[in-house]
Chains A and B, each alone.
Chain A
Amino acid sequence: MAQRNSTRRRQQKSESFMDYSLLFIVLFLLGFGMVMVFSTSSYEANLDFGDSTHYLKQQLFATILGLIVMIVVSNIPYHFWERFAALAYIVSAVLILLIIPFGHEAGGATRWLYIGPISLQVAEVAKVGMILFLASLICIMGKRIRTRKGFWTVLLVPAPIAVMIWQITNNLSSAIIIMGIAVLMLFVSCPDYKRFILLGLATVAGAAVVVFAVVQMAQSQADSVNFRGARILAWLDPEAYASGKGFQTLQALYAIGSGGVLGKGLGMSMQKRGFLPEAQNDMIFSIICEELGLFGGIAVIVMFLLLIWRLMIIANNAPDLFGALLVVGVMGHIAIQVILNIAVVTNTIPNTGISLPFISYGGSSVMFLLIEIGLVLSVAKGIRLKDL
């Protein structure tokens, strides 16, 4: 009780605090994203819809809507959401299950639900839901989190959602992100290091075994390598699979490599002209590199680093554990997604569909990221200025 009382006192003292640094970084990324979405999509949009701003308009609409929701959320004390934590978990699960009868297919995967005119990517809902649910769960568990049972509880509770996303919506990357968020939140809330190092090593070893197994399989019987196995082979040698699984990666590499240090200039990308399909989506970073060069690419990485740094500051100054965990969840979400996206685009890891936060085209993604930023801003409001 004492803790809650003190929190409330702090809130009252600094009611008007707004983390403008975070807000500006986010607004900058959104604005930059909009420019790049227009740059990457205008050529194909013009060919396909006769309107070069087709994708830009949709993105603009989702962004404005997202900003409004963000402002609303940021003005609601974040503890308000704590009571909906269990509900968030259930709603995520139900939405994913609804995909089976009502899902909308695009690009070979069924990931979208249509609610009126708005299409909703359920994995994005699940990510926010999971952050809220885990933050709440960890707070309720308190010291029990340090036990082995507590450790496995936090790891296993999100697993069903992740497995459902993976299997039902055929979206391995979102499943990985959800598990990654869980691991990071658990890491922060647990004093232990050893287990996490072991977990990390086990993951790396597991990945190595899978890669090795796929390569062995490909050498013995070339035909039997399945969808994901082929991805791994294409990752190891994209040029050998240039017309199949390695196509997108190779086109992205052409874009990045041909950008050089200074880039071809904004709007001057060649690869976006049909060579790299849907360049405004997951592979947008490669076009950024092609047009703006190594400097542009590094600048984007630096912006995300600033964003994550800012989130770290907010998490570490959050008035209570729940707030801190919410921010850590958001930080983990964004960091994992940025890292995986850039790693995929540069062919550092096998290809899997992950969008670049705030920049890639995609309404659901931007909407829910802004909701998360809204939550963070709400947490930030609880920070007393002198704590900073």
Chain B
Amino acid sequence: MAKEIPYLHKTYHRSKTVAVFFLCFIVFIGLAGRLAYLMIFQSEYYTQKAKELHERERSIKAARGRIIDANGKILADNKTVCTISVIHSQITNPEEVIEVLCRELELSEEYVRKRVEKRSSIEKIRSNVDKSTGDVIRSYEMDGVKVDEDYKRYYPYDTLASKVLGFTGGDNQGIIGLEVIYEEYLQGQAGTILTVTDAKGVELAEEGEERVEPVSGQDLYISLDMNIQSYATQLALQTMETKEADSVSILVMNPQNGEVLAMVNVPEFNLNDPYTLPNGMDSAAFSEEKKQELLNAMWRNGCINDTYEPGSTFKIVTAAAGLESGMVKTTDTFSCPGFIMVEDRKIRCHKVGGHGAEDFVQGTMNSCNPVFITVGLRIGVERYYSYFRQFGLLEKTGIDLPGEAGTIMHKMENIGPVELATISFGQSFQITPIQLATTASSIVNGGRRITPHFAVKTAAADGSHMELFTYPVRENVVSAETSETMRYILEQVVADGSGRNGAVEGYRIGGKTATSQTLPRGSGRYIASFLGFAPADNPQVLAVAIINNPKGTYYGGQIAAPVIRQLFENILPYLEKIDYNVTGSTDGSLGKD
């Protein structure tokens, strides 16, 4: 028996040991299954996560595309600047790093210390540092300090066309102007350097680096002509000074295809220093909010962002509508006693004694309000409103600049005879200068509503990947006959009418003056303006000058027309040498004679 007992024991001992083994076996199988799940089905997820953990990404800025004028002059360029950053784990002497960076970058110690001591893989201290300063910092050869070169926007002509071109922010992104609208072409594609590092951020040389080269932005070729722009700027500045005006805008465009040759809004600002308030304003004296408001005002492009009552220049529209509808003929005669009664209102002509008997052409030459009120009333509200819409005045022009203001106009059902009368000579509603220029262009160019624009094409720096821009054109806004008549009448205005100060010897000029009182009436503030085009029989260039709140004489015919005359005297001979219609515009079929 003594022998049997251990044997019996061993039977269940054995089976139980086997049970333990199989229990372990099952658990092991389970763990192997778990392992297989992680390493097959979750593998992609964790591999990606691990890759993100192991790789440090440094971006390489792409060179922003340049902006190039009609003559090939570079208006917006790039210059090399440096970005200074620190890699926490590689810094061996933090105090030296803090001290040197504070001194060379003129930053507060607190600011630098916070970034140097932050436990992150890479911390940017400052970007857009001059290359010379970057070279100095590099010469200290401090561990953990990286000096990366990149590009900063640079505007060779400082203030030239500032409100058109716009400028870029710290990350080279467009902030206003063409820089914003053509961001996708200009910005290019940033490249990256991917390096594999250990947990401390030390790059592992044996793993090599993966480099994605940046793609430079496309160059933007615009219709703006730097020579015309700078001359117009000089004229505008001169006028602003002598007339003590608040601001002066000059707009020059090709009425045939909508290419803008110059757009001046003085005072301009320095594109290389866009955050400094105009002279005499201490930025420290204002709250952040107020400062931003002042900056926004400084950056504002009056030609497209602001609306005004156009006044008599709008008689071009009334005249075109009247002729087109057949409600007036050039030979129709009118009589001006110096005022006209509309319902119970007496609306005065600017000539107190009246113009007496005159035909329609003479009425336009005189800029006679009673004549245009009469024509407006003949057309009637509904028809006038439909012409207003047909000429495109109710829509934005679609110019390639941000923030274009819309037209502020009565609703049709609210227009009575008095409102219609005031609209007829350009009051009681507001449009932008670019809207006026565009509408006038389509009336004198044969009736094609063009889209004003700057951009002609984009292309890579080496000329490849060229892309031409096309802009919508709406035909038959007015008939060819009406257009021809309008050119004739407006030529008479300059030749022997209220616009005679706009005449240029040896050239046929058409145009129209305007003097509008700003709201509220009786404030003594006026806007003097003149719209002119040449040659009068086949307009190739159309210019508008707007003088905002001049002191002393404020009549458009007296102060605005001479500005355009001077402009034309200089640019017409210049334009004859250049054929702009070759620059790649889409509807350049109507070439210069």
Contact = CB atoms under 8 A, between A and B. Distances in A.
A2 interface: yes
A77 interface: no
A315 B196 contact: no
A254 B2 contact: no
A61 interface: no
A260 B47 contact: yes
B18 A256 contact: no
Interface of B, helix, strand, loop or mixed by DSSP: helix
B6 A321 contact: yes
A335 B24 contact: yes
Contacts of B507: none
Interface string A276-311: 000000000000010001100110010011001100
Interface in A174-213: 184, 187-191
A256 B31 contact: no
Contacts of A315: 13, 17
Contacts of A95: none
Contacts of A335: 20, 24
A275 B2 CA distance: 62
A168 interface: no
A320 B17 contact: no
B16 interface: yes
Contacts of B17: 188, 312, 315-316, 324, 328, 331
B24 A3 contact: no
Given A293-B39, A294-B36, A346-B31, A270 B21 contact: no
A248 interface: no
B10 A324 contact: yes
Interface in B1-44: 2-3, 6, 9-10, 12-14, 16-21, 24-25, 27-28, 31-32, 34-36, 38-40, 42-43
B38 A346 contact: yes
Contacts of B38: 253, 256-257, 346
A187 B20 contact: yes
B53 A275 contact: yes
Interface residues of A, number: 49
A258 B45 CA distance: 8
Contacts of B297: none
B352 interface: no
A312 B20 contact: yes
B205 interface: no
A328 B11 CA distance: 15
A254 B34 contact: no
B285 interface: no
A351 B36 CA distance: 20
B458 to A, nearest CB: 43
B198 interface: yes
A201 B2 CA distance: 37
B347 to A, nearest CB: 76
A25 interface: no
A342 interface: yes
Interface string A248-282: 00000111111111000000001101110000000
Nearest to B204: A273
A11 to B, nearest CB: 16
A297 B20 contact: no
Contacts, number: 134
A129 interface: no
Contact of A257 (B12, B13, B24, B42): B42
A43 interface: yes
Given A275-B54, A294-B40, A297-B39, A254 B6 contact: no
B31 A274 contact: no
Contacts of A190: 16
Contacts of B46: 253-254, 256-258
B543 to A, nearest CB: 65
B198 A298 contact: no
B590 interface: no
A348 B50 contact: no
A274 B200 contact: yes
B199 interface: yes
Contact of A188 (B13, B32, B34, B49): B13
A293 B25 CA distance: 21
A43 B204 CA distance: 11
B198 A260 contact: no
A332 interface: yes
A297 B38 CA distance: 11
A316 B51 CA distance: 49
Given A189-B13, A260-B47, A342 B53 contact: no
A297 B33 CA distance: 11
B21 A294 contact: no
B22 to A, nearest CB: 9
A270 B53 CA distance: 10
Q: Which of A6, A188, A189 has the most CB of B within 10 A?
A: A188
A240 interface: no
Interface in A204-232: none
A348 B145 CA distance: 43
A260 B35 CA distance: 10
Given A2-B3, A187-B20, A274-B199, A254 B35 contact: no
B20 A331 contact: yes
Contacts of B51: 258
A343 interface: yes
A209 B47 CA distance: 35
Task: Rank and list the top 4 A-B pairs by shortest CB-CB distance, nearest first.
Answer: A257-B46, A274-B199, A273-B198, A258-B50
11 contacts: A2-B2, A253-B38, A257-B47, A261-B39, A275-B54, A289-B35, A309-B21, A320-B6, A321-B9, A324-B10, A342-B35
Interface of A: 2-3, 6, 43, 184, 187-191, 253-261, 270-271, 273-275, 289, 293-294, 297-298, 301, 304-305, 308-309, 312, 315-316, 320-321, 324, 328, 331-332, 335, 339, 342-343, 346, 348
